[in-house]
């Protein structure tokens, strides 16, 4: 049930990992003069930073760790509100909570990303940041969200975990806000089982993020830094084996995206004229990662029937990503009741969580189905469709099945 990178794990990954294992040195830190130290993590950071056009890159252990590190480094904390879409992976919200801040849920629009109009309505005196989640491989309305963030002096944090390699108007997603976070878990564009990365142009933020991710140390330490540690940090360090896999995966990214684009446009072309069908609005079709092809049926009933016949679920019923299905958030089940950010003495706002609180989002998700292209994931509702290795015959066959199913259900 994985992302596209999974389908192309091969000799290149094997070679990279073998190099590291044979050298025998697995930590991200080492002396340049040590021939065993192959600095794969450092290479990964610089290759991605360079290609995506960002001054600073920091590899971490997961997308969740990247988000927590990013927001901690940006100074988000107790009493702050962060506006988050109601349709996203749980980590967009849990990361806010682990910064002791409060996620405020906002609607998504026909692009299934943050609805800028609702974002404006959700701004209060406590709002510190907007978390722009580039859902399902395509960008938020970056232009509008950036304008809102600037007008209200809010930080724009980009959760780019589902859109590594995507772009908006020719520029890489994750490089528009104060900081962008990526994930390399198995469902994402490229993967090493787990892993994460953040990008920022802000040198100070990078320094704080680095310190946070490694017990307060300054970037690229080579030894002990007693007396110099700026903050109390975590250990979210990536190791050399993970970076070795990711380097090989990253070098396949362009080819992978190109291939996914042709699969997706092939599929889309064949179902374009299906009666009763609409496509998700893409804020930037050119910059699409082509994870999925999202369609809307005319109503919930039809969508349920179509999904069932395809062996899939509508987005409203898919297990993850929908606030209505997140009991741990709806009831704010923090591991220690005293760390409930809503109950913090610093919090003066009135955020609350209820099923059905985002009617626009609910109406959209109950009519929507994800056809898999790059990401085959039941939890995303994309169990029907194709994958990176599908032949053009398979694309034709699946498109035909889809057309027939919709015709039967209308």
Ligand X SMILES: *Cc1c(COP(=O)(O)O)cnc(C)c1O
236 touches ligand X (CB under 6 A):
no
> Which range binds ligand X by CB under 6 A, 1-9, 41-49, 154-162, 299-307?
154-162
Helix (H/G/I), strand (E/B), else coil: 60: strand
382 touches ligand X (CB under 6 A):
no
214-251 burial code (b ≥16 CB/10 A, e <16): bbbbeeeeeeeeeeebeeebbebbbbbbbbbbbbbbbe
Which of 17, 42, 48, 62 contacts ligand X by CB under 6 A? 62
In residues, how long is the chain?
Answer: 410
185 touches ligand X (CB under 6 A):
yes
**What gap in Å lies between CA 5 and CA 188, rounded to an integer?**
7
89 touches ligand X (CB under 6 A):
yes
Please, which residue, 64 or 200, has the CB nearer to ligand X? 64
Instruction: Return the residues of window 252-281 that contact ligand X according to CB under 6 A.
Output: none
Please, which residue, 244 or 380, has the CB nearer to ligand X? 380
Please, which residue, 17 or 65, has the CB nearer to ligand X? 65
DSSP assigned state of 341: G
**Least gap, CB of 203 to ligand X (angstroms):** 25
Least Cα distance to 320 among 409, 187, 211 occurs for 187
**What gap in Å lies between CA 168 and CA 142, rounded to an integer?**
7
**Least gap, CB of 309 to ligand X (angstroms):** 27
Please, which residue, 63 or 287, has the CB nearer to ligand X? 63
CB 174 within 8 A of CB 181: yes
Which of 141, 159, 214, 288 contacts ligand X by CB under 6 A? 159
Helix (H/G/I), strand (E/B), else coil: 56: strand
**Least gap, CB of 66 to ligand X (angstroms):** 8
Helix H or strand E segment including 129? strand 127-133
Residues lying near ligand X in the complex (CB under 6 A) are found at 62-64, 88-89, 91-92, 133, 159, 161-162, 183, 185, 194, 196
């Amino acid at each position: 049930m994985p992302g596209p990178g999974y389908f192309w794990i091969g000799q290149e990954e094997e070679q990279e990992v073998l190099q590291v294992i044979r050298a025998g040195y697995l930590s991200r830190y080492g002396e340049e003069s040590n021939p065993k130290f192959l600095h794969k993590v450092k290479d990964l950071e610089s290759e991605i930073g360079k290609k995506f056009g960002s001054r600073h890159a920091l590899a971490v252990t997961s997308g969740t760790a990247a988000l927590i590190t990013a927001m901690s480094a940006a100074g988000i904390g107790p009493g702050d509100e962060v506006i988050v879409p109601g349709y996203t992976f749980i980590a967009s919200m849990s990361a806010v909570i682990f910064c002791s801040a409060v996620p405020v849920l906002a609607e998504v629009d026909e692009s299934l990303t943050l609805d800028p109009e609702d974002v404006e309505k959700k701004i209060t005196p406590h709002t510190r940041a907007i978390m722009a989640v580039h859902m399902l491989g395509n960008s938020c309305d970056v232009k509008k969200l950036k304008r809102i963030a600037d007008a209200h002096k809010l930080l724009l944090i980009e959760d780019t975990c589902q859109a590594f390699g995507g772009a908006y108007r020719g520029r890489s997603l994750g490089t528009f806000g104060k900081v962008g976070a990526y994930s390399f878990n198995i469902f994402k564009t490229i993967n090493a089982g787990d892993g994460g990365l953040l990008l920022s142009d802000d040198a100070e933020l990078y320094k704080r993020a680095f310190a946070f991710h490694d017990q307060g140390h300054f970037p690229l330490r080579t030894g002990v830094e007693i007396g110099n540690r700026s903050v109390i940090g975590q250990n979210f360090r990536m190791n050399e084996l993970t970076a070795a896999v990711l380097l090989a995966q990253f070098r396949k990214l362009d080819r992978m995206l190109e291939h996914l684009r042709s699969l997706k446009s092939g599929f889309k072309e064949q179902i374009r004229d299906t009666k009763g069908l609409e496509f998700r609005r893409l804020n930037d079709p050119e910059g699409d990662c082509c994870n999925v092809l999202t369609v809307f049926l005319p109503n919930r009933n039809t969508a349920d029937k179509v999904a069932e016949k395809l062996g899939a679920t509508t987005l409203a019923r898919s297990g993850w990503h929908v606030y209505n299905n997140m009991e741990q958030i709806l009831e704010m089940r923090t591991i220690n009741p005293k760390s409930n950010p809503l109950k913090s003495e610093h919090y003066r706002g009135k955020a609350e969580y209820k099923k059905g609180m985002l009617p626009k989002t609910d109406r959209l998700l109950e009519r929507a189905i994800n056809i898999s292209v790059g990401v085959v994931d039941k939890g995303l509702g994309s169990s029907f469709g194709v994958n990176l290795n599908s032949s053009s015959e398979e694309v034709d066959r699946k498109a035909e099945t889809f057309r027939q199913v919709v015709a039967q259900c209308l």
